[in-house]
Amino acid sequence: MSYIPVYSWSEARTVDPTRRSVRLYVWQLPVRISHWIAVLSVAVLSCTGYYMHNPFIISRGANAYLMGTMRFIHLTAASVFIGAFLLRMYWFLEGNKWSRWSAFLPLQKKQWQGIGQMVSYYSFLRRDLIHVIGHNALAAVTYMYMFLLMFVEILTGLALYSMTRSSPLLSALIGWLPRLIDIQYLRLAHFCIMFGFFIFVIHHVYSAVLVSWEERNGLIESIFTGYKFMPETELEESERDEVT
């Protein structure tokens, strides 16, 4: 099978009609960078955060300072995580059509239909997948919900940090939250959201492997390369849907 490099949606129209598939640049570099930085930082934050909640390693020796080391690593990883989150939020505005905020919010009837179709597929009530170039409608809504959880995790984390460090900037940005919600509830929410990330990762990996296997479109590889593959007929179909 031959593949033709296509770097934008408009260029897809010029593909040689004798070819069977096209190669589309879907996930831009900032999307891939923010994705992998978030993955790695969440892994570090989970390990160090759980240790801070429940120290399961006993450090011995006069110079042992394991809790302080864990806390430093946690704060450093949190800064990296916030950076990745801000990059992705910026790319909601500046990214291509598959990365923008409009691709994640179900604002059109077709998106709601897509959610129902994917729910039917995962419920074994539908045999065929819905073939889309970017995220399917159900995945897009799920990702938007996860971005919301990430935002709450950042807010609660900054609120907890502000209680241990006297900083005018932190007080101005987040000092209102501990006055609104008791610090113990903020700590509990911060800890429980971590398990929400665990649940999401398990399903995310499962569904990505499943869809990549079913569609044979390079879905798994695309988060590394940015490229996905699509039959010309489906590409033309998607373009017609956009026009209408």
Segment 125-154, tens digit of pLDDT: 888 887 788 899 999 999 999 999 999 999
- pLDDT confidence of residue 218: 86
- Of 47-56, 57-66, 215-224, 225-234, the least confident: 57-66
Question: Which structure tokens are listed for 30?
Answer: 């900032």
Same domain, 79 and 151: no
State mean pLDDT over 60-88. Answer: 90
Residue 10 lies in a domain: no
Same domain, 82 and 124: no
23 SS3 class = strand
First to last CA, the chain: 31
Is residue 216 very low, low, confident or very high in pLDDT (cuts 50, 70, 90)?
Answer: confident
Residue 15 lies in a domain: no
Residue 233 lies in a domain: no
Same domain, 118 and 174: yes
φ, ψ at 10 (rounded to 5°): -65, -35
pLDDT at 194 over 50: yes
Question: Which structure tokens are listed for 101?
Answer: 């905020």
- The residue from 40, 62, 91 where one domain ends is 91
Same domain, 116 and 210: yes
Same domain, 120 and 182: yes
| pLDDT tens column, 167-184 | 788 888 898 898 999 999
State which amino acid sits at residue 12. A
Q: Nearest Cα to 43, choosing from 92, 90, 93, 78?
A: 78
Domain of residue 177 covers 108-216
| pLDDT tens column, 98-111 | 999 999 999 888 88
Where do runs of H (alpha helix) occur along the chain? Answer: 29-53, 66-94, 109-122, 137-162, 168-174, 176-180, 183-215, 219-225, 232-243
Residue 9 lies in a domain: no
Residue 221 lies in a domain: no
Same domain, 124 and 174: yes
244 SS3 class = coil
- Residue 111 · residue 118 · CB < 8 Å: no
- pLDDT confidence of residue 44: 97
CA gap 99, 175 in Å, rounded: 33
CA gap 219, 41 in Å, rounded: 23
- Of 92-96, 163-167, 225-229, 233-237, the least confident: 233-237
The C-alpha angle 63, 69, 72, rounded to 5 degrees, equals 145
Same domain, 62 and 118: no
Sign of CA dihedral 37, 107, 234, 94: negative
Residue 148 lies in a domain: yes
State mean pLDDT over 202-210. Answer: 92
CA gap 173, 210 in Å, rounded: 42
Same domain, 147 and 199: yes
Domain total of the chain: 2
174 SS3 class = helix
Same domain, 122 and 170: yes
Same domain, 137 and 55: no
Average pLDDT score, the chain: 85
Residue 225 lies in a domain: no
- The residue from 91, 124, 144 where one domain ends is 91
Is residue 7 very low, low, confident or very high in pLDDT (cuts 50, 70, 90)?
Answer: very low
- Residue 8 · residue 221 · CB < 8 Å: no
In which residue are the tokens 């179909």 written? Answer: 237
Quote the pTM value: 0.83
Same domain, 161 and 63: no
- pLDDT confidence of residue 183: 92
